[in-house]
Amino acid sequence: MRPQALTQPRNKRAPALGFTMVELIIALSLGVIVLGAAVAYVIREIRTMTGNEIRDSVTRNGRYVGVSLRHDLQRAGIAIESTTSFGTVAVWPGSPGDTLVILHVPYVPNLAPAHSIVPPPGDDNPLPPGGTCGDRCIEVLKDPSVPLEFHVNDLARLQVAGTRRLILIEEIRETSDTSVALEFTAADSILRQPAGLTGGVRLDRYGTYVQKLVPIIYYLDEEEQLIRAHRLNRDGSPAGDVLAYDVEEFGATLVFADGDELERAEPGDEDTSNDCDDIVAVRVRVTVKADRVDPRVNQGQLLKRSYDWTISPRNLRYEKQRL
């Protein structure tokens, strides 16, 4: 018996392949909705990131300035005590902002030594005008086994008994294995402190020495850049680098032991509580602003943040405790 052939009924069609028009429209519609949501999310995230970038930049600048100030002010007075008329921290007002000066003796890798002078033959004291090697020259002793720490344009402290002056070195000449001549600029004032042999200062044969100093100077320039200088030019002006951009305000005042807060020390007046050796802290106010306006940040207004720090250098506190 032969098996019957399997055949498909004539009235039944094979199923169609692909999507119907309705299915395609639905799929496209869903795809557009999902894509639109994704694009909207990405745009929203980009705007949020832009706003956060502006806020973070302002905050970061402000914090960086604060950290730098705290670090530098803690160096004030290292190996050099303030006197009534000579402070290791100084502030003076100006435009567009105040100027802050910090002085200390360098201590890395070792504390900079105090170099005694090489007096001329004789026993006269104080030395006659011209001192050791000229009106703008001082010959000092040096250790031949140690590299000389002085360089051209270095700031140094000239101590003559109880009198203190600043000098800015413009030339160094080796006079022997154990001595060098330091020639300094003709400035009679450096960083608003007496400089050189001004005021008839004559070198003391037994009580004169020269010691390297490091100045740190903060000031705001005309382009709203906060400058941190750690050296001086030949003319005594500060030379440094930009610490922060877009700084609208840099203000500094001195805090004295009696609680007074003043724009500067006044050692020449009758009040003995506002001298340079009465300073115990520095108050600094800084306003940092964003570098651009964004409609999504601070309601479209330029974002600004103000900071106010009061920093008390440990060496200034120790000075007051010793009194």
Model confidence band, residue 293 (pLDDT cutoffs 50, 70, 90): confident
Q: Is 36 in a helix, a strand, or coil?
A: helix
- Specify the pLDDT at position 18: 64
- Specify the pLDDT at position 44: 61
Q: Residue 15 domain-assigned?
A: no
- Tell me: the pLDDT tens digits for 36-78? 766 666 566 555 555 678 888 899 999 999 999 999 999 999 9
Say if residue 164's pLDDT is above 90: yes
Nearest one of 177, 183, 239 to 210, comparing CA atoms: 183
Q: The tokens of 94 are what? A: 């100006």
Averaged pLDDT for residues 289-297? 86
| Sequence-distant (≥ 6) Cβ neighbours of residue 198 within 8 angstroms | 165, 188, 189
Q: Residue 19 domain-assigned?
A: no
Q: Residue 99 domain-assigned?
A: yes
* CA atoms of 131 and 202, how far apart (whole Å): 7
Whats the size of the chain, residue-wise? 323
Q: Residue 147 domain-assigned?
A: yes
- Specify the pLDDT at position 199: 84
Residue 320 parent element (H or E): helix 314-322
Cα 44 to its chain centre, rounded Å, is: 38
Residue 26 parent element (H or E): helix 21-73
Q: Residue 22 domain-assigned?
A: no
* pTM greater than 0.85 (yes/no): no
Model confidence band, residue 255 (pLDDT cutoffs 50, 70, 90): very high
- Tell me: the pLDDT tens digits for 139-158? 999 999 999 999 999 999 99
- Specify the pLDDT at position 32: 76
Task: Check: CB of residue 220 under 8 Å from CB of residue 247.
Answer: yes
Say if residue 11's pLDDT is above 70: no
Residue 156 β-bridge partners = 167, 212
- Tell me: the pLDDT tens digits for 264-273? 999 989 899 9
Residue 160 β-bridge partners = 163, 208
- Tell me: the pLDDT tens digits for 86-95? 999 999 999 9
Q: For residue 220, what are the domain limits?
A: 57-322
Residue 170 parent element (H or E): strand 163-176
Which DSSP string do the residues of 247-301 spell out, in sequence order? Answer: EEEEEEEEEETTS-EESS--TTSS-TTSSGGGEEEEEEEEEEE-SS--TTSGGGS
Please, what is the average pLDDT of the chain? 89
Q: Residue 180 domain-assigned?
A: yes
- Specify the pLDDT at position 323: 47
Distances from the Cα of 165 to the Cαs of 49, 83, 117, 183, 196, in angstroms?
A: 54, 12, 15, 14, 6
Model confidence band, residue 24 (pLDDT cutoffs 50, 70, 90): confident
pLDDT cut 90: percent of the chain above it? 72
Averaged pLDDT for residues 261-290? 94
Q: Residue 25 domain-assigned?
A: no
Q: The tokens of 144 are what? A: 């031949």
Say if residue 25's pLDDT is above 90: no
* CA atoms of 215 and 236, how far apart (whole Å): 11
Total domains, the chain: 1
Q: Bigger pLDDT: 32 or 4?
A: 32
Q: Residue 139 domain-assigned?
A: yes
